[in-house]
Structure 1
Amino acid sequence: MHKPLLVTDFLDRAREYYGDEEAVVATTGERFTYEQLGERADRLSAALAERGVEKGDRVAVLDPNTHYHLESAYGIMQLGAVHTPLNYRLTADDFEYVLNDAGVDAVIADYEYAEKIEAIRDDAPTETFVTNDAGEVEGDWEDFEEVIRSADPDDYRRPEMDEDDVITINYTSGTTGDPKGVMRTHRTETLHAYLITVHQEIRDDDVYLWTLPMFHVNGWGHIYAVTGTGATHVCTRGVNAAEIFDVVVEEDVSYMCAAPTVLNRLIDYHEQHGVETAGENSVRIATAGSAPPEATIRTVEDEFGWYLKHVYGATETGPLVTTSDARRLLPEGEERFALKKRQGIPYLGTEVAVVDEDGDDVPRDDATLGEIVVRGNQVMEGYWEKPEATEEAFSRRREGWYHTGDLAVVDENGMVSIQDRKKDIIISGGENISSIELEDTLFDHEAVADVAVIPAPSDEWGETPKAFVVPASGDPDDPGVTGDELRAFAEDRLASYKAVRRVEFVETLPTTATGKVQKYELREREWDEEDRMVGEG
């Protein structure tokens, strides 16, 4: 038997079997059951249909982790429209690019971020603008509550949908040029949600705290998995250590996700205040991005009493494709922490290989470097309207496998450990930052003759952007500009998290015979005291 895999099935199941159970603890203080969540999504579907949104149209959501985002996602997808979540940390110019690239028909934006859309709305193809608090937003915006209040939930009809239809587009961080829209289908989203349900051990009695942004590959699929299992969503408007601990205790949170930088904030706060770390439920936490240091894992598990799962992936791969939570492969005692910080072994139904330049597997000697390539049902359909980039991503070393650009080694048990990155990506606090974008920005400053940006180790962020600048004056001791001025220059032109944090003036940059900057030499020097050249604190 073949039954189409549709993402709408997740909320449908929750409404049928958990309709009277608590679905969402909202940031507004409201609490919604699954039937109420479903009705609000139905009303939004009807309202969007009334405004001309049809199957295949793109609808963007710019929102922190509130109930509005959950309602919007399902309200959009029930129409067969394409949920296009936006990173709220981007600039207005970034949003202009994405809205035009995706041809977005409608935007649903949180009141704190709507002004960034308002600033570029005349340069976008978008016709419908909705916010969750129109009174706080300048310009002609419809109010979310009024929109759904005036809509009849029975007025929309679901179109016929196929599991291979694109249902969401997630934009990358633009690490190699402009951001690319990663197309994900009903099938890829559903199978990825099934996988995290298994590997993250999601159950109907879980209480999930939204510390992971919902815009990050649809919250790593938790908008589906937590909903489909009938568990409870606890929403947030940001990451604050004190509030996280308070909510964990008050709401009996059992599961959440956090980048290593968030783990560090929690550890610092706990050391200073000695707060309670759990309510009645035991807590497990997933982390991804830059690998957490052993000390972080040890503190989270031994002092907090939480169980940590280290996972790995990319926007293009679902994202999650590996886990270090391989308990039969982990030794007892302190030695387990060293293995837990590895990216680990593949998820069920997922093939992960580390290959050499010829596409052959590297030996499992924990020493030979190769590129991580992935094949699985959760891997993207391709890049939105970028067939050449799609072809390149699947064909460089091993045909038909997605090439991550991450360089790794493999141990005797097949556990992967990333050592370096082929691409010029800096992962700071869980966010991808393009060194190329930063270099291009700094080049625009009149005092900069040459520049190379690399990741530098950071206790707080895992890694942080550092610029090696050759000043136009030719004298690194008298560069004609300060590091603070260059940081401010970058912050004025980029999203705040992308701006360079450290600046070192140098006389020259190391180059090859053909003049190509050898960033590897700079990274080697910067990470000399670290175990590997990836942000681990």
Structure 2
Amino acid sequence: MEVPLLVTDFLDRARKYYGDQEAIVATTGERFTYDEFGDRADRFSAVLQARGIEKGDRVAVLDPNTHYHLEAAYGIMQLGAIHAPLNYRLTPDDYDYLLNDAGVKAIFADYEYAEKIEAVRDDVPTELFITNDPDAVEGEWEDVDALLEETDPEYDRPEMSEDDIITINYTSGTTGDPKGVCRTHRTESLHAQLVTIHHEITDDDVYLWTLPMFHVNGWGHIYAVTGIGAKHVCTRGVDAGQIFEDIAEEDVSFLCCAPTVLSMLGDYADANDVATEGENPMRVTAAGAAAPESVIEMVEEEFGWHFRQLYGATETGPLISTSATRRLIDEDSEERFALKKRQGIAPLATEVDVVDEDGDVVPWDDETIGEIVVKGNQVMDGYWEKPEATEEAFNDRREGWFHTGDLAVVNEHGMISIQDRDKDIIISGGENISSIELEDTLFDHEAVADVAVIPSPSEKWGETPKAFVVPSNEDPENPPISADELTEFTKARLAGYKVIHRIEFVDELPKTATGKIQKFELREQEWEDEDAMVGEG
């Protein structure tokens, strides 16, 4: 029997079996059951349909992790319209580009960010502007709560195909202008099922939203957590004190985040007496960058949480691989933190290879570097109205596989470990140097709060590593350690050609909203006086 896979099935299932169970703990203090969540989503659908929104129309959501985002997402998708979540940390010019690129007809924007849309209102195709506090926003915005209250929940749900585009997720722009990643009912549904399996999500889970919902639909958790009938605990961003408070008061069992968030939690816990768990045992999945071993050790040994690494990309939903491999990691071994830092193995129904320039699989010797390519049902169909970029992404080293641009090695068990981005590998005197290895080394020093290593121009070697370091006291003018002392620290731990002789202290690193360091900004700054980058990094 063949039944179409539709993202609307997730909320439909939750309403059918968990209607009277608590679904959402809102940032406003309100609590909604799945029946109430579903009713508000229906009313949102009816509001949009009454204003002319049809199947295939793009509707944007600009919102932190509140209940409005969940309601709007399902309200949009129930009409067969395309959900376009936006990064809430962008500028008005960015929104001008995104809204025009996607041809967005309507937008829901949280009151805290709506002014950025108002600034470009006359330059975008959007006609319907909805917010949750119109009094806090200049211009003509409609009140979402008033609209939902005055609108009946009846709407006409169109016939939908699993191959219809249902969401457009924009890349975080670490390598240039964002591209709209087109995801269908099928790719979203199968990815959410993989997330449910490999994150071991169950109906008694309490999920804390620290990961932005806009980021690849919260890594699929707007579907997975809903469909399984678990509970969403919403937030308005990352606040360490509030996170610990929510964990204890709401008995949170699971959260996802970037490693930088875990470091922030560690710093807060060091300075404050906090409970790291409620009644439920805690687990955490980190992604966006490889967590330093010291952070993983802190999470497991000090917080008592179970840690796992996720590796992915916007184009893949994002799940490509995970270190949630209990049989491959001995929890009593000294090397368990190093193994959990690895990006791990592919999930079910997914093929992941590390290949050389000819597209051939590299040896599983943990030394030979190749590019990660992936093939699976969760991989995007293509970029929105960018056929050439789509063609390039799928047909470089190996035809028909998505090329990540990430360089990795593979150990004897098939667990991958990213060494660098293709453009971040440092080629010094003909030797390939992993910037991630250098960053991990510097992270081991207590005076280093954050770090990014990039290739820097060198007359002698062509390129040489340079580290941008955020000191632990966050004062680059008076750091608790000197650059020379850090160089000596790396000299004792690295091969001679990898030692970092160039170190610059900074107060912060350029990052995306999901915690990825935008190294291209640092590279452009470092190489602005050069004709070209030697290794094209």
The question of a shared fold, defined as TM-score above 0.5 by the shorter chain, is answered with: yes
Name the CA distance, whole Å, in 2 between partners of 1:263 and 1:205: 24
Name the CA distance, whole Å, in 2 between partners of 1:6 and 1:392: 29
8 Å contact 1:394–1:402 — kept in the other structure? yes
TM-score, L = length of structure 2 = 0.83
Amino acid aligned to 1:518: V
Are residues 1:370 and 2:393 paired?
no
1:217-276, Cα deviation, whole Å (9 max, x unpaired): 000000000000110000000101111001100000000011100000111111111311
Residue 118 of structure 1 is matched in structure 2 by 118
Name the CA distance, whole Å, in 1 between partners of 2:449 and 2:211: 15
Residue 132 of structure 1 is matched in structure 2 by 132
CA 102–506 in structure 1, closer or farther in 2 if over 3 Å, else same: closer
Residue 526 of structure 1 is matched in structure 2 by none
CA 48–409 in structure 1, closer or farther in 2 if over 3 Å, else same: same
Name the CA distance, whole Å, in 2 between partners of 1:400 and 1:369: 21
Residue 35 of structure 1 is matched in structure 2 by 35
Amino acid aligned to 2:217: N
CA 502–77 in structure 1, closer or farther in 2 if over 3 Å, else same: closer
Q: State the shift of 1:502 in Å.
A: 7.5
- Give structure 2 stretches of 5+ with no counterpart: 426-434, 459-475, 478-505
Residue 517 of structure 1 is matched in structure 2 by 533
8 Å contact 1:14–1:34 — kept in the other structure? yes
Residue 329 of structure 1 is matched in structure 2 by 328
CA 392–11 in structure 1, closer or farther in 2 if over 3 Å, else same: same
Residue 220 of structure 2 is matched in structure 1 by 221
Residue 408 of structure 1 is matched in structure 2 by 408
Q: State how 1:427-438 maps to structure 2 within 5 Å.
A: none
Residue 234 of structure 2 is matched in structure 1 by 235
Name the CA distance, whole Å, in 2 between partners of 1:469 and 1:413: 37
8 Å contact 1:60–1:84 — kept in the other structure? yes
CA 465–182 in structure 1, closer or farther in 2 if over 3 Å, else same: farther
8 Å contact 2:21–2:33 — kept in the other structure? yes
Q: State the shift of 1:466 in Å.
A: 7.2
Residue 152 of structure 1 is matched in structure 2 by 152
Secondary structure (helix, strand or coil) at the match of 1:149 reads helix
TM-score, L = length of structure 1 = 0.83
CA 461–95 in structure 1, closer or farther in 2 if over 3 Å, else same: farther
CA 506–228 in structure 1, closer or farther in 2 if over 3 Å, else same: closer
8 Å contact 2:374–2:401 — kept in the other structure? yes
Are residues 1:23 and 2:39 paired?
no
Q: State the shift of 1:505 in Å.
A: 9.3
Residue 85 of structure 1 is matched in structure 2 by 85
- Give structure 1 stretches of 5+ with no counterpart: 426-453, 471-482, 524-537
Name the CA distance, whole Å, in 2 between partners of 1:26 and 1:397: 46
Residue 479 of structure 1 is matched in structure 2 by none
Residue 67 of structure 1 is matched in structure 2 by 67
Secondary structure (helix, strand or coil) at the match of 2:327 reads helix
8 Å contact 1:466–1:501 — kept in the other structure? no
Amino acid aligned to 1:168: T
Secondary structure (helix, strand or coil) at the match of 1:168 reads strand
Q: State how 1:164-183 maps to structure 2 within 5 Å.
A: 164-183=163-182
8 Å contact 1:469–1:503 — kept in the other structure? no
Residue 444 of structure 1 is matched in structure 2 by none
Name the CA distance, whole Å, in 2 between partners of 1:189 and 1:463: 34
Amino acid aligned to 2:214: F
Q: State the shift of 1:59 in Å.
A: 0.2
Name the CA distance, whole Å, in 1 between partners of 2:91 and 2:403: 29
Name the CA distance, whole Å, in 2 between partners of 1:122 and 1:46: 26
1:438-481, Cα deviation, whole Å (9 max, x unpaired): xxxxxxxxxxxxxxxx99948577544879699xxxxxxxxxxx
Name the CA distance, whole Å, in 1 between partners of 2:199 and 2:455: 38
CA 44–377 in structure 1, closer or farther in 2 if over 3 Å, else same: same
Residue 495 of structure 2 is matched in structure 1 by none
Identity %: 66
Secondary structure (helix, strand or coil) at the match of 2:139 reads coil
RMSD: 2.9
Q: State how 1:346-495 maps to structure 2 within 5 Å.
A: 346-423=346-423, 457=439, 459=443, 463-464=451-452
Q: How many residues align?
A: 472
1:131-182, Cα deviation, whole Å (9 max, x unpaired): 011111110100110111121111x110000000000000012234321000
Residue 338 of structure 2 is matched in structure 1 by 338
Q: State the shift of 1:205 in Å.
A: 0.4
Amino acid aligned to 2:383: Y
Amino acid aligned to 1:386: K
Residue 478 of structure 1 is matched in structure 2 by none
Amino acid aligned to 2:278: G
Name the CA distance, whole Å, in 2 between partners of 1:36 and 1:119: 34
Q: State the shift of 1:424 in Å.
A: 5.6
Deviates more, 1:289-298 or 1:11-20: 289-298
8 Å contact 2:321–2:345 — kept in the other structure? yes
Name the CA distance, whole Å, in 2 between partners of 1:228 and 1:505: 45
CA 204–114 in structure 1, closer or farther in 2 if over 3 Å, else same: same
Name the CA distance, whole Å, in 1 between partners of 2:219 and 2:25: 20
Are residues 1:264 and 2:263 paired?
yes
Name the CA distance, whole Å, in 1 between partners of 2:220 and 2:376: 15
Q: State the shift of 1:498 in Å.
A: 5.9
Secondary structure (helix, strand or coil) at the match of 2:125 reads coil
Amino acid aligned to 1:421: R
8 Å contact 1:467–1:500 — kept in the other structure? no
CA 54–274 in structure 1, closer or farther in 2 if over 3 Å, else same: same
